Structure 1
Amino acid sequence: MFTIHPFRLLAALLLLVTLHAQARDYIATAPDGVTLAVQESGNPDGVPVIFIHGLLGSRLNWSEQLASPQLQGYRLITYDLRGHGLSAKPAGTRAYSDGRRWADDLRAVMQAAQVHKPVLVGWSLGGAVISNYLAAYGDQDLAGAVYVDGVIELAPEQITAHPDIYRDLISSDLRTHLDAINAFLRLCFQTPPPAPVLERLLANAAMASWDMQRGVQSMTVPAAEGLRAARVPLLLLYGEQDALVRTGPAIARAVALNPRIQSKRYARSGHAPFLEEPQRFNRDLAAFIAQLR
Protein backbone atom coordinates (compact mmCIF):
# COMPACT_ATOMS: atom_id res chain seq x y z
CA MET A 1 0.00 0.00 0.00
CA PHE A 2 1.26 3.48 -0.89
CA THR A 3 1.89 5.65 2.18
CA ILE A 4 3.05 9.21 2.66
CA HIS A 5 5.60 10.00 5.36
CA PRO A 6 3.88 12.30 7.91
CA PHE A 7 6.72 14.84 7.79
CA ARG A 8 6.46 15.07 3.99
CA LEU A 9 2.71 15.47 4.25
CA LEU A 10 3.14 18.24 6.80
CA ALA A 11 5.71 19.97 4.61
CA ALA A 12 3.36 19.83 1.62
CA LEU A 13 0.49 21.25 3.65
CA LEU A 14 2.67 24.06 4.98
CA LEU A 15 3.75 24.86 1.42
CA LEU A 16 0.13 25.07 0.27
CA VAL A 17 -0.77 27.35 3.18
CA THR A 18 2.22 29.59 2.46
CA LEU A 19 1.45 29.85 -1.25
CA HIS A 20 -2.22 30.55 -0.53
CA ALA A 21 -1.19 33.35 1.78
CA GLN A 22 0.83 34.86 -1.06
CA ALA A 23 -2.20 35.06 -3.38
CA ARG A 24 -2.92 38.60 -4.47
CA ASP A 25 -5.44 40.50 -6.55
CA TYR A 26 -4.77 43.53 -8.72
CA ILE A 27 -6.03 45.37 -11.80
CA ALA A 28 -4.67 45.56 -15.34
CA THR A 29 -5.88 48.29 -17.68
CA ALA A 30 -6.33 47.67 -21.41
CA PRO A 31 -5.43 50.34 -24.02
CA ASP A 32 -9.10 51.27 -24.40
CA GLY A 33 -9.42 51.82 -20.64
CA VAL A 34 -11.17 48.54 -19.75
CA THR A 35 -10.06 47.33 -16.32
CA LEU A 36 -9.34 43.63 -15.87
CA ALA A 37 -9.43 41.78 -12.55
CA VAL A 38 -6.28 39.67 -12.10
CA GLN A 39 -5.41 37.13 -9.43
CA GLU A 40 -2.15 35.32 -8.65
CA SER A 41 -1.29 32.32 -6.53
CA GLY A 42 1.27 29.52 -6.50
CA ASN A 43 5.00 30.09 -6.48
CA PRO A 44 5.84 33.72 -7.35
CA ASP A 45 9.26 32.57 -8.59
CA GLY A 46 7.92 29.73 -10.70
CA VAL A 47 7.20 29.54 -14.42
CA PRO A 48 4.28 31.93 -15.05
CA VAL A 49 1.10 30.29 -16.35
CA ILE A 50 -1.77 32.53 -17.48
CA PHE A 51 -5.18 30.85 -17.54
CA ILE A 52 -7.78 32.34 -19.92
CA HIS A 53 -11.35 31.22 -19.32
CA GLY A 54 -14.16 30.76 -21.83
CA LEU A 55 -17.47 32.39 -22.66
CA LEU A 56 -19.63 33.11 -19.58
CA GLY A 57 -16.81 32.08 -17.26
CA SER A 58 -14.30 33.75 -14.96
CA ARG A 59 -11.21 32.90 -12.95
CA LEU A 60 -13.46 30.55 -10.95
CA ASN A 61 -13.36 28.08 -13.83
CA TRP A 62 -9.78 27.18 -12.89
CA SER A 63 -10.41 26.14 -9.29
CA GLU A 64 -9.09 22.60 -9.83
CA GLN A 65 -5.86 23.95 -11.27
CA LEU A 66 -5.32 26.62 -8.61
CA ALA A 67 -5.76 24.00 -5.88
CA SER A 68 -3.61 21.34 -7.56
CA PRO A 69 -0.45 20.32 -5.66
CA GLN A 70 1.08 19.41 -9.05
CA LEU A 71 0.83 23.01 -10.23
CA GLN A 72 1.74 24.88 -7.03
CA GLY A 73 5.34 25.21 -8.13
CA TYR A 74 4.26 27.52 -10.94
CA ARG A 75 3.19 31.13 -10.81
CA LEU A 76 -0.54 30.78 -11.47
CA ILE A 77 -2.22 33.84 -12.98
CA THR A 78 -5.92 34.12 -13.78
CA TYR A 79 -7.98 37.04 -14.98
CA ASP A 80 -11.58 37.76 -15.87
CA LEU A 81 -12.07 38.55 -19.54
CA ARG A 82 -13.71 41.83 -20.47
CA GLY A 83 -17.44 41.60 -19.94
CA HIS A 84 -17.02 38.79 -17.39
CA GLY A 85 -16.66 38.34 -13.64
CA LEU A 86 -15.15 41.30 -11.84
CA SER A 87 -13.66 42.91 -14.94
CA ALA A 88 -15.23 45.95 -16.55
CA LYS A 89 -18.21 45.51 -18.86
CA PRO A 90 -18.10 48.27 -21.47
CA ALA A 91 -21.33 49.09 -23.28
CA GLY A 92 -21.87 48.34 -26.94
CA THR A 93 -20.94 45.37 -29.09
CA ARG A 94 -17.91 47.07 -30.67
CA ALA A 95 -16.02 46.58 -27.43
CA TYR A 96 -16.22 42.81 -27.98
CA SER A 97 -16.41 42.03 -31.70
CA ASP A 98 -12.87 43.18 -32.53
CA GLY A 99 -10.56 40.32 -31.57
CA ARG A 100 -7.61 42.71 -31.27
CA ARG A 101 -9.15 44.17 -28.11
CA TRP A 102 -9.02 40.74 -26.44
CA ALA A 103 -5.38 40.38 -27.51
CA ASP A 104 -4.62 43.81 -26.07
CA ASP A 105 -6.29 42.75 -22.81
CA LEU A 106 -3.99 39.73 -22.52
CA ARG A 107 -0.99 41.93 -23.29
CA ALA A 108 -2.10 44.35 -20.54
CA VAL A 109 -2.33 41.48 -18.05
CA MET A 110 1.16 40.29 -18.99
CA GLN A 111 2.53 43.79 -18.52
CA ALA A 112 0.76 44.33 -15.20
CA ALA A 113 2.06 40.97 -13.96
CA GLN A 114 5.56 41.72 -15.30
CA VAL A 115 5.90 38.19 -16.58
CA HIS A 116 8.72 36.78 -18.67
CA LYS A 117 7.91 34.00 -21.15
CA PRO A 118 4.57 32.83 -19.71
CA VAL A 119 2.69 29.73 -20.75
CA LEU A 120 -0.81 30.57 -21.97
CA VAL A 121 -3.70 28.19 -21.26
CA GLY A 122 -6.92 29.14 -23.05
CA TRP A 123 -10.25 27.37 -22.75
CA SER A 124 -12.87 27.68 -25.51
CA LEU A 125 -13.13 31.46 -26.14
CA GLY A 126 -9.75 31.67 -24.39
CA GLY A 127 -8.27 29.81 -27.35
CA ALA A 128 -9.55 32.53 -29.66
CA VAL A 129 -7.90 35.08 -27.36
CA ILE A 130 -4.57 33.26 -27.77
CA SER A 131 -4.95 33.22 -31.56
CA ASN A 132 -5.68 36.93 -31.56
CA TYR A 133 -2.64 37.53 -29.38
CA LEU A 134 -0.39 35.51 -31.69
CA ALA A 135 -1.69 37.44 -34.70
CA ALA A 136 -1.20 40.82 -33.02
CA TYR A 137 2.04 40.31 -31.07
CA GLY A 138 3.66 37.09 -32.24
CA ASP A 139 5.13 34.51 -29.87
CA GLN A 140 8.51 36.03 -29.02
CA ASP A 141 7.36 36.84 -25.48
CA LEU A 142 5.81 33.41 -24.85
CA ALA A 143 7.18 30.04 -23.74
CA GLY A 144 4.26 28.05 -25.15
CA ALA A 145 0.48 27.83 -25.33
CA VAL A 146 -2.22 25.28 -24.61
CA TYR A 147 -5.63 25.31 -26.29
CA VAL A 148 -8.27 23.57 -24.16
CA ASP A 149 -11.21 22.74 -26.42
CA GLY A 150 -10.29 26.07 -27.92
CA VAL A 151 -12.16 27.89 -30.64
CA ILE A 152 -9.75 27.75 -33.57
CA GLU A 153 -12.10 29.65 -35.89
CA LEU A 154 -15.77 30.63 -35.75
CA ALA A 155 -16.42 28.34 -38.70
CA PRO A 156 -19.52 26.12 -39.13
CA GLU A 157 -17.44 23.01 -39.70
CA GLN A 158 -15.62 23.52 -36.39
CA ILE A 159 -18.48 24.67 -34.15
CA THR A 160 -21.49 22.51 -33.29
CA ALA A 161 -24.64 24.41 -34.23
CA HIS A 162 -26.94 25.39 -31.37
CA PRO A 163 -28.82 28.26 -33.03
CA ASP A 164 -31.62 28.40 -30.48
CA ILE A 165 -29.24 28.69 -27.55
CA TYR A 166 -27.04 31.36 -29.13
CA ARG A 167 -30.17 33.27 -30.18
CA ASP A 168 -31.64 33.10 -26.69
CA LEU A 169 -28.37 34.14 -25.01
CA ILE A 170 -28.88 37.60 -26.47
CA SER A 171 -32.62 37.75 -25.81
CA SER A 172 -33.84 40.82 -23.94
CA ASP A 173 -36.31 38.61 -22.05
CA LEU A 174 -34.74 37.71 -18.72
CA ARG A 175 -36.29 34.25 -18.38
CA THR A 176 -35.28 33.31 -21.93
CA HIS A 177 -31.78 34.64 -21.38
CA LEU A 178 -31.23 32.79 -18.11
CA ASP A 179 -32.65 29.54 -19.48
CA ALA A 180 -30.19 29.80 -22.39
CA ILE A 181 -27.31 30.33 -19.97
CA ASN A 182 -28.37 27.21 -18.10
CA ALA A 183 -28.58 25.18 -21.32
CA PHE A 184 -25.24 26.48 -22.61
CA LEU A 185 -23.39 25.72 -19.41
CA ARG A 186 -24.77 22.21 -19.20
CA LEU A 187 -23.54 21.56 -22.74
CA CYS A 188 -20.00 22.18 -21.46
CA PHE A 189 -19.92 18.88 -19.58
CA GLN A 190 -20.17 15.24 -20.47
CA THR A 191 -19.93 14.60 -16.74
CA PRO A 192 -21.44 17.52 -14.78
CA PRO A 193 -19.48 18.80 -11.79
CA PRO A 194 -20.92 18.50 -8.26
CA ALA A 195 -24.07 20.55 -7.69
CA PRO A 196 -22.40 23.31 -5.60
CA VAL A 197 -19.79 23.84 -8.34
CA LEU A 198 -22.38 23.89 -11.12
CA GLU A 199 -24.55 26.33 -9.19
CA ARG A 200 -21.56 28.64 -8.68
CA LEU A 201 -20.72 28.47 -12.39
CA LEU A 202 -24.34 29.27 -13.28
CA ALA A 203 -24.30 32.31 -11.02
CA ASN A 204 -20.95 33.28 -12.49
CA ALA A 205 -22.33 33.01 -16.04
CA ALA A 206 -25.29 35.23 -15.17
CA MET A 207 -22.83 38.05 -14.36
CA ALA A 208 -21.59 38.23 -17.95
CA SER A 209 -22.38 41.29 -20.04
CA TRP A 210 -25.27 40.97 -22.48
CA ASP A 211 -23.48 43.30 -24.92
CA MET A 212 -20.48 40.98 -24.73
CA GLN A 213 -22.68 38.00 -25.60
CA ARG A 214 -24.02 39.90 -28.60
CA GLY A 215 -20.66 41.15 -29.81
CA VAL A 216 -18.58 38.03 -29.29
CA GLN A 217 -20.70 35.99 -31.69
CA SER A 218 -19.06 37.92 -34.54
CA MET A 219 -15.62 38.21 -32.94
CA THR A 220 -12.70 38.25 -35.37
CA VAL A 221 -10.37 35.26 -34.93
CA PRO A 222 -7.33 35.43 -37.26
CA ALA A 223 -6.22 31.86 -36.53
CA ALA A 224 -4.48 31.42 -39.86
CA GLU A 225 -2.27 34.44 -39.22
CA GLY A 226 -1.65 33.62 -35.57
CA LEU A 227 -1.11 29.88 -35.57
CA ARG A 228 0.78 29.58 -38.84
CA ALA A 229 3.61 31.83 -37.72
CA ALA A 230 3.96 30.41 -34.19
CA ARG A 231 7.26 28.73 -33.36
CA VAL A 232 6.82 28.06 -29.64
CA PRO A 233 5.39 24.68 -28.59
CA LEU A 234 1.61 24.47 -28.90
CA LEU A 235 -0.57 21.78 -27.36
CA LEU A 236 -4.26 21.06 -27.94
CA LEU A 237 -6.18 19.25 -25.16
CA TYR A 238 -9.72 18.41 -26.24
CA GLY A 239 -12.61 16.33 -24.91
CA GLU A 240 -13.89 13.69 -27.31
CA GLN A 241 -17.47 14.28 -26.14
CA ASP A 242 -17.40 18.05 -26.70
CA ALA A 243 -20.90 19.27 -27.57
CA LEU A 244 -19.82 22.82 -28.48
CA VAL A 245 -16.58 22.55 -30.46
CA ARG A 246 -16.16 19.77 -33.02
CA THR A 247 -12.98 18.13 -31.77
CA GLY A 248 -11.83 16.39 -34.95
CA PRO A 249 -12.27 19.29 -37.40
CA ALA A 250 -10.91 21.84 -34.90
CA ILE A 251 -7.72 19.86 -34.30
CA ALA A 252 -7.36 19.10 -38.01
CA ARG A 253 -7.62 22.80 -38.90
CA ALA A 254 -5.06 23.80 -36.27
CA VAL A 255 -2.57 21.14 -37.40
CA ALA A 256 -3.09 22.14 -41.05
CA LEU A 257 -2.10 25.67 -40.09
CA ASN A 258 0.86 24.54 -37.98
CA PRO A 259 2.04 20.91 -38.32
CA ARG A 260 4.18 21.26 -35.18
CA ILE A 261 1.08 21.36 -32.99
CA GLN A 262 0.65 18.40 -30.64
CA SER A 263 -2.73 17.19 -29.41
CA LYS A 264 -4.30 14.91 -26.82
CA ARG A 265 -7.91 13.79 -26.62
CA TYR A 266 -9.85 12.96 -23.46
CA ALA A 267 -12.27 10.15 -24.26
CA ARG A 268 -14.51 10.72 -21.24
CA SER A 269 -14.62 14.53 -21.28
CA GLY A 270 -16.89 17.05 -22.91
CA HIS A 271 -15.99 20.71 -23.43
CA ALA A 272 -14.25 21.13 -20.05
CA PRO A 273 -11.63 18.39 -19.43
CA PHE A 274 -9.88 20.55 -16.82
CA LEU A 275 -12.97 20.12 -14.64
CA GLU A 276 -14.14 16.71 -15.83
CA GLU A 277 -10.75 14.96 -15.62
CA PRO A 278 -8.73 17.45 -13.56
CA GLN A 279 -6.01 15.11 -12.31
CA ARG A 280 -5.13 13.94 -15.80
CA PHE A 281 -5.39 17.47 -17.15
CA ASN A 282 -3.09 18.82 -14.45
CA ARG A 283 -0.54 16.08 -15.14
CA ASP A 284 -0.61 16.81 -18.85
CA LEU A 285 -0.26 20.54 -18.27
CA ALA A 286 2.63 20.06 -15.83
CA ALA A 287 4.39 17.72 -18.27
CA PHE A 288 4.00 20.26 -21.09
CA ILE A 289 5.45 23.06 -18.96
CA ALA A 290 8.32 20.86 -17.76
CA GLN A 291 9.46 20.08 -21.31
CA LEU A 292 9.68 23.78 -22.12
CA ARG A 293 12.65 24.26 -19.81
Structure 2
Amino acid sequence: MSTYTFSRMLSALVVTATLFALSPSVFAETKSYTVSAPDGVKIAVQESGNPDGGAIIFIHGLLGSHLNWDGQINSPELKRYRIITYDMRGHGLSGKPTDAKAYTDGQRWAGDLATVIQSSHARKPALVGWSLGGVVISNYLEKYGDDSISGAVYVDGVIELKPDQIPPHPVVYRDLNSPDLKTHLDAVRDFLGLCFHTQPDAATSGRLFANAAMASWDMQRAVLSITVDAPKALGKARVPVLLIYGAQDALVQAKPTMARAMALNPAIQGKLYANSGHAPFIEEPERFNRDLSAFVDTLSQR
Protein backbone atom coordinates (compact mmCIF):
# COMPACT_ATOMS: atom_id res chain seq x y z
CA MET A 1 0.00 0.00 0.00
CA SER A 2 1.42 3.42 -0.95
CA THR A 3 1.98 6.17 1.62
CA TYR A 4 -0.55 8.35 -0.25
CA THR A 5 -3.27 5.68 -0.10
CA PHE A 6 -2.62 5.02 3.58
CA SER A 7 -2.81 8.76 4.34
CA ARG A 8 -6.17 9.02 2.59
CA MET A 9 -7.54 6.04 4.50
CA LEU A 10 -6.30 7.51 7.77
CA SER A 11 -7.93 10.85 6.95
CA ALA A 12 -11.23 9.13 6.20
CA LEU A 13 -11.08 7.33 9.55
CA VAL A 14 -10.42 10.62 11.35
CA VAL A 15 -13.38 12.28 9.61
CA THR A 16 -15.65 9.36 10.49
CA ALA A 17 -14.53 9.45 14.13
CA THR A 18 -15.14 13.18 14.24
CA LEU A 19 -18.67 12.74 12.93
CA PHE A 20 -19.40 10.19 15.64
CA ALA A 21 -17.94 12.49 18.28
CA LEU A 22 -19.50 15.77 17.19
CA SER A 23 -22.75 14.82 15.47
CA PRO A 24 -24.85 12.57 17.72
CA SER A 25 -27.94 13.94 16.02
CA VAL A 26 -27.09 12.01 12.86
CA PHE A 27 -27.37 8.74 14.74
CA ALA A 28 -30.13 9.59 17.25
CA GLU A 29 -33.03 7.17 17.23
CA THR A 30 -36.62 8.33 17.05
CA LYS A 31 -38.41 8.00 20.36
CA SER A 32 -42.18 7.78 20.76
CA TYR A 33 -44.23 7.95 23.95
CA THR A 34 -47.62 9.02 25.28
CA VAL A 35 -48.51 11.68 27.85
CA SER A 36 -51.80 12.58 29.52
CA ALA A 37 -53.28 16.06 29.10
CA PRO A 38 -54.88 17.78 32.13
CA ASP A 39 -58.33 16.53 31.05
CA GLY A 40 -57.05 12.98 30.56
CA VAL A 41 -56.70 12.91 26.76
CA LYS A 42 -53.73 10.80 25.66
CA ILE A 43 -51.25 12.71 23.50
CA ALA A 44 -48.78 10.87 21.25
CA VAL A 45 -45.31 12.47 21.27
CA GLN A 46 -42.28 11.80 19.07
CA GLU A 47 -38.65 12.92 19.39
CA SER A 48 -35.74 12.86 16.95
CA GLY A 49 -32.61 14.80 16.10
CA ASN A 50 -29.91 15.67 18.62
CA PRO A 51 -31.15 14.90 22.16
CA ASP A 52 -28.61 17.41 23.52
CA GLY A 53 -29.52 20.18 21.09
CA GLY A 54 -31.85 23.12 21.55
CA ALA A 55 -35.46 21.95 21.55
CA ILE A 56 -38.02 22.80 18.85
CA ILE A 57 -41.62 21.68 19.32
CA PHE A 58 -43.61 21.42 16.07
CA ILE A 59 -47.42 21.68 16.16
CA HIS A 60 -49.25 20.56 13.03
CA GLY A 61 -52.49 21.91 11.58
CA LEU A 62 -56.07 20.75 11.06
CA LEU A 63 -56.37 17.18 9.70
CA GLY A 64 -52.65 16.59 10.09
CA SER A 65 -50.26 14.74 12.38
CA HIS A 66 -46.57 14.71 13.25
CA LEU A 67 -45.97 13.29 9.75
CA ASN A 68 -46.55 16.77 8.33
CA TRP A 69 -43.07 17.68 9.57
CA ASP A 70 -41.09 15.01 7.67
CA GLY A 71 -39.26 17.71 5.72
CA GLN A 72 -38.01 19.17 9.01
CA ILE A 73 -37.37 15.90 10.86
CA ASN A 74 -35.18 14.69 7.98
CA SER A 75 -33.51 18.03 7.29
CA PRO A 76 -29.69 18.17 7.55
CA GLU A 77 -30.16 21.82 8.54
CA LEU A 78 -32.24 20.92 11.58
CA LYS A 79 -30.68 17.62 12.70
CA ARG A 80 -28.59 19.41 15.31
CA TYR A 81 -31.71 20.37 17.25
CA ARG A 82 -33.83 18.24 19.53
CA ILE A 83 -36.99 17.91 17.44
CA ILE A 84 -40.23 17.21 19.30
CA THR A 85 -43.51 16.63 17.50
CA TYR A 86 -46.89 15.49 18.72
CA ASP A 87 -50.30 14.60 17.37
CA MET A 88 -52.90 17.10 18.54
CA ARG A 89 -56.05 15.86 20.24
CA GLY A 90 -58.45 14.39 17.71
CA HIS A 91 -55.60 13.69 15.29
CA GLY A 92 -53.17 10.93 14.40
CA LEU A 93 -52.32 8.57 17.23
CA SER A 94 -53.63 10.83 20.00
CA GLY A 95 -56.89 10.45 21.89
CA LYS A 96 -60.14 11.43 20.21
CA PRO A 97 -62.72 12.54 22.77
CA THR A 98 -66.33 12.88 21.65
CA ASP A 99 -67.30 15.87 23.81
CA ALA A 100 -67.42 19.07 21.73
CA LYS A 101 -65.99 21.10 24.62
CA ALA A 102 -62.80 19.07 24.32
CA TYR A 103 -62.24 20.93 21.03
CA THR A 104 -64.03 24.28 21.31
CA ASP A 105 -62.19 25.22 24.52
CA GLY A 106 -58.86 26.52 23.29
CA GLN A 107 -57.37 26.23 26.77
CA ARG A 108 -57.51 22.44 26.51
CA TRP A 109 -55.27 22.51 23.45
CA ALA A 110 -52.97 24.81 25.42
CA GLY A 111 -52.92 22.22 28.20
CA ASP A 112 -51.80 19.57 25.72
CA LEU A 113 -48.83 21.70 24.66
CA ALA A 114 -47.94 22.53 28.26
CA THR A 115 -47.98 18.81 29.08
CA VAL A 116 -45.67 18.02 26.16
CA ILE A 117 -43.22 20.71 27.30
CA GLN A 118 -43.26 19.50 30.90
CA SER A 119 -43.20 15.76 30.18
CA SER A 120 -40.38 16.03 27.64
CA HIS A 121 -38.35 18.21 30.04
CA ALA A 122 -37.64 20.48 27.11
CA ARG A 123 -35.72 23.51 28.36
CA LYS A 124 -36.95 26.75 26.82
CA PRO A 125 -38.12 25.20 23.53
CA ALA A 126 -38.96 27.19 20.43
CA LEU A 127 -42.56 26.59 19.34
CA VAL A 128 -43.48 26.19 15.67
CA GLY A 129 -47.21 26.11 14.88
CA TRP A 130 -48.79 25.62 11.47
CA SER A 131 -52.31 26.91 10.77
CA LEU A 132 -54.43 25.62 13.69
CA GLY A 133 -51.12 25.14 15.49
CA GLY A 134 -50.92 28.93 15.67
CA VAL A 135 -54.15 28.98 17.67
CA VAL A 136 -52.62 26.42 20.02
CA ILE A 137 -49.57 28.63 20.58
CA SER A 138 -51.79 31.67 21.21
CA ASN A 139 -53.88 29.79 23.74
CA TYR A 140 -50.71 28.55 25.40
CA LEU A 141 -49.33 32.09 25.64
CA GLU A 142 -52.61 33.34 27.09
CA LYS A 143 -52.85 30.62 29.76
CA TYR A 144 -49.22 29.93 30.65
CA GLY A 145 -47.28 32.97 29.50
CA ASP A 146 -43.86 32.70 27.84
CA ASP A 147 -41.51 32.01 30.76
CA SER A 148 -41.01 28.38 29.70
CA ILE A 149 -40.31 29.01 25.99
CA SER A 150 -37.62 30.86 24.05
CA GLY A 151 -39.68 31.98 21.06
CA ALA A 152 -42.49 31.13 18.66
CA VAL A 153 -42.96 30.76 14.92
CA TYR A 154 -46.41 31.01 13.35
CA VAL A 155 -46.44 29.23 9.98
CA ASP A 156 -49.51 30.52 8.14
CA GLY A 157 -50.99 30.44 11.61
CA VAL A 158 -54.54 31.45 12.39
CA ILE A 159 -54.40 34.62 14.49
CA GLU A 160 -58.14 35.28 14.75
CA LEU A 161 -61.19 33.59 13.25
CA LYS A 162 -62.36 36.75 11.51
CA PRO A 163 -63.59 37.28 7.92
CA ASP A 164 -60.78 39.65 6.99
CA GLN A 165 -58.24 36.98 7.94
CA ILE A 166 -59.97 33.73 6.95
CA PRO A 167 -61.21 33.40 3.34
CA PRO A 168 -64.69 31.87 3.06
CA HIS A 169 -64.93 28.32 1.79
CA PRO A 170 -68.45 27.55 3.02
CA VAL A 171 -69.02 24.45 0.88
CA VAL A 172 -65.73 22.84 1.90
CA TYR A 173 -66.24 23.43 5.61
CA ARG A 174 -69.87 22.37 5.41
CA ASP A 175 -69.06 19.14 3.62
CA LEU A 176 -66.21 18.29 6.00
CA ASN A 177 -68.97 17.78 8.54
CA SER A 178 -71.23 15.75 6.25
CA PRO A 179 -72.30 12.34 7.62
CA ASP A 180 -72.06 11.01 4.06
CA LEU A 181 -68.64 9.43 3.62
CA LYS A 182 -68.22 10.30 -0.06
CA THR A 183 -69.17 13.93 0.53
CA HIS A 184 -66.82 14.14 3.48
CA LEU A 185 -63.87 12.60 1.64
CA ASP A 186 -64.39 14.87 -1.38
CA ALA A 187 -64.31 17.85 0.99
CA VAL A 188 -61.11 16.56 2.58
CA ARG A 189 -59.54 16.33 -0.89
CA ASP A 190 -60.64 19.89 -1.67
CA PHE A 191 -59.41 21.20 1.68
CA LEU A 192 -55.99 19.63 1.19
CA GLY A 193 -55.84 21.06 -2.33
CA LEU A 194 -56.36 24.54 -0.86
CA CYS A 195 -53.30 24.07 1.35
CA PHE A 196 -50.86 24.37 -1.55
CA HIS A 197 -49.91 26.80 -4.27
CA THR A 198 -47.53 24.14 -5.61
CA GLN A 199 -49.09 20.73 -5.10
CA PRO A 200 -46.88 18.11 -3.41
CA ASP A 201 -45.80 14.82 -4.97
CA ALA A 202 -48.10 11.80 -5.03
CA ALA A 203 -46.53 10.15 -1.97
CA THR A 204 -46.89 13.27 0.15
CA SER A 205 -50.44 13.86 -1.06
CA GLY A 206 -51.38 10.30 -0.18
CA ARG A 207 -49.89 10.65 3.30
CA LEU A 208 -51.76 13.91 3.87
CA PHE A 209 -55.02 12.27 2.85
CA ALA A 210 -54.34 9.37 5.22
CA ASN A 211 -53.63 11.88 8.00
CA ALA A 212 -56.99 13.48 7.37
CA ALA A 213 -58.78 10.14 7.37
CA MET A 214 -57.50 9.51 10.92
CA ALA A 215 -58.86 12.80 12.25
CA SER A 216 -61.91 12.71 14.50
CA TRP A 217 -65.19 13.79 12.93
CA ASP A 218 -66.30 15.10 16.33
CA MET A 219 -63.22 17.32 16.32
CA GLN A 220 -63.89 18.56 12.80
CA ARG A 221 -67.45 19.54 13.71
CA ALA A 222 -66.38 21.45 16.80
CA VAL A 223 -62.98 22.96 16.06
CA LEU A 224 -64.21 25.79 13.84
CA SER A 225 -65.61 27.32 17.05
CA ILE A 226 -62.35 27.07 18.99
CA THR A 227 -61.67 29.99 21.32
CA VAL A 228 -58.65 32.25 20.88
CA ASP A 229 -57.84 35.69 22.31
CA ALA A 230 -55.00 37.09 20.23
CA PRO A 231 -54.68 40.42 22.10
CA LYS A 232 -54.10 38.61 25.40
CA ALA A 233 -51.70 36.16 23.76
CA LEU A 234 -49.59 37.90 21.15
CA GLY A 235 -50.09 41.33 22.67
CA LYS A 236 -48.29 40.28 25.83
CA ALA A 237 -45.59 38.05 24.33
CA ARG A 238 -42.11 39.06 25.43
CA VAL A 239 -40.18 36.36 23.58
CA PRO A 240 -39.30 36.77 19.89
CA VAL A 241 -42.10 35.82 17.51
CA LEU A 242 -41.60 35.13 13.80
CA LEU A 243 -44.36 34.88 11.20
CA ILE A 244 -43.68 32.82 8.05
CA TYR A 245 -46.57 32.94 5.59
CA GLY A 246 -47.15 32.03 1.97
CA ALA A 247 -48.34 34.93 -0.17
CA GLN A 248 -50.53 32.54 -2.19
CA ASP A 249 -52.31 31.13 0.90
CA ALA A 250 -55.94 30.23 0.09
CA LEU A 251 -56.93 29.39 3.68
CA VAL A 252 -55.50 32.36 5.58
CA GLN A 253 -55.24 35.90 4.24
CA ALA A 254 -51.51 36.31 4.67
CA LYS A 255 -51.01 40.08 4.58
CA PRO A 256 -54.02 41.11 6.72
CA THR A 257 -53.23 38.36 9.22
CA MET A 258 -49.59 39.37 9.51
CA ALA A 259 -50.59 43.02 9.80
CA ARG A 260 -53.01 42.19 12.62
CA ALA A 261 -50.36 40.25 14.54
CA MET A 262 -47.82 43.03 14.15
CA ALA A 263 -50.37 45.63 15.25
CA LEU A 264 -50.91 43.61 18.43
CA ASN A 265 -47.15 43.35 18.99
CA PRO A 266 -44.83 45.62 16.95
CA ALA A 267 -41.81 43.50 17.92
CA ILE A 268 -43.07 40.58 15.81
CA GLN A 269 -41.04 39.85 12.67
CA GLY A 270 -42.44 38.49 9.43
CA LYS A 271 -41.36 36.70 6.26
CA LEU A 272 -43.63 36.36 3.23
CA TYR A 273 -42.85 33.58 0.75
CA ALA A 274 -44.05 34.82 -2.63
CA ASN A 275 -44.35 31.38 -4.23
CA SER A 276 -45.89 29.40 -1.36
CA GLY A 277 -49.44 28.72 -0.33
CA HIS A 278 -50.64 27.61 3.11
CA ALA A 279 -47.74 25.20 3.71
CA PRO A 280 -44.35 26.86 2.97
CA PHE A 281 -42.52 24.28 5.08
CA ILE A 282 -43.63 21.64 2.56
CA GLU A 283 -43.59 23.79 -0.59
CA GLU A 284 -40.20 25.43 0.05
CA PRO A 285 -38.63 23.22 2.74
CA GLU A 286 -34.99 24.18 2.21
CA ARG A 287 -35.71 27.88 2.53
CA PHE A 288 -38.05 27.32 5.46
CA ASN A 289 -35.51 25.18 7.30
CA ARG A 290 -32.78 27.78 6.81
CA ASP A 291 -35.02 30.56 8.10
CA LEU A 292 -36.16 28.49 11.06
CA SER A 293 -32.59 27.50 11.93
CA ALA A 294 -31.42 31.12 11.78
CA PHE A 295 -34.30 32.22 14.03
CA VAL A 296 -33.70 29.48 16.60
CA ASP A 297 -30.00 30.29 16.69
CA THR A 298 -30.78 33.91 17.60
CA LEU A 299 -32.85 32.65 20.55
CA SER A 300 -29.86 30.86 22.04
CA GLN A 301 -27.90 34.11 21.94
CA ARG A 302 -30.38 36.04 24.08
Same fold (TM over 0.5): yes
CA separation of 1:191 and 1:16: change in aligned 2, threshold 3 A = farther
The one of 78, 88, 94 aligned to 1:81: 88
- Contact residue 20 and residue 41 of structure 1 kept, 8 A: no
Distance in 2 between residues matched to 1:102 and 1:12, nearest whole Å: 42
Aligned positions of 1:1-293 closer than 5 A = 19=26, 21-293=28-300
Supply the distance in 2 between the matched residues of 1:21 and 1:51 (Cα, whole angstroms).
Answer: 18
Stretches of structure 2 that go unaligned for 5 or more consecutive residues are: 1-10
Indicate if the aligned counterparts of 1:19 and 1:41 stay in contact, CA closer than 8 A. no
Spell out, residue by residue over 1:67-112, the C-alpha distance to the aligned partner (whole angstroms, 9 max, x if none): 0011011000000000000000001211100000000000011111
Instruction: Tell me which amino acid in the other structure corresponds to 1:289.
Output: V
**One-letter code aligned to 1:86:** L
Q: In structure 2, what residue type is equivalent to 1:134?
A: L
Mapped partners of 1:13, 1:185: distance in 2: 40
What's the TM-score, normalizing by structure 1?
0.95
Cα deviation, 1:211-253, whole Å, max 9, x if unaligned, reads 1011101000111100000010000000000000000110010
Structure 2 residue identity aligned to 1:169: L
Pair member with larger Rg: 2
1:20–1:244 Cα change, 3 Å? farther
State the TM-score, normalized to the length of structure 2: 0.92
Query: Cα–Cα, structure 1 residues 150 and 93, in superposed 2: closer, same or farther, change >3 Å?
Result: same
C-alpha distance in 2, partners of 1:6/1:224? 56
Shift in alpha-carbon separation, 1:53–1:243, aligned structure 2, 3 A? same
SS at match of 2:153: strand
Instruction: Identify unmatched segments of 5+ residues in structure 1.
Output: none
- Equivalent pairs counted in the alignment come to 289
- Post-superposition Cα deviations, 1:125-183, rounded to whole Å, max 9, x if no partner, equal 00000000000011111100000000001111100110000011111111111110010
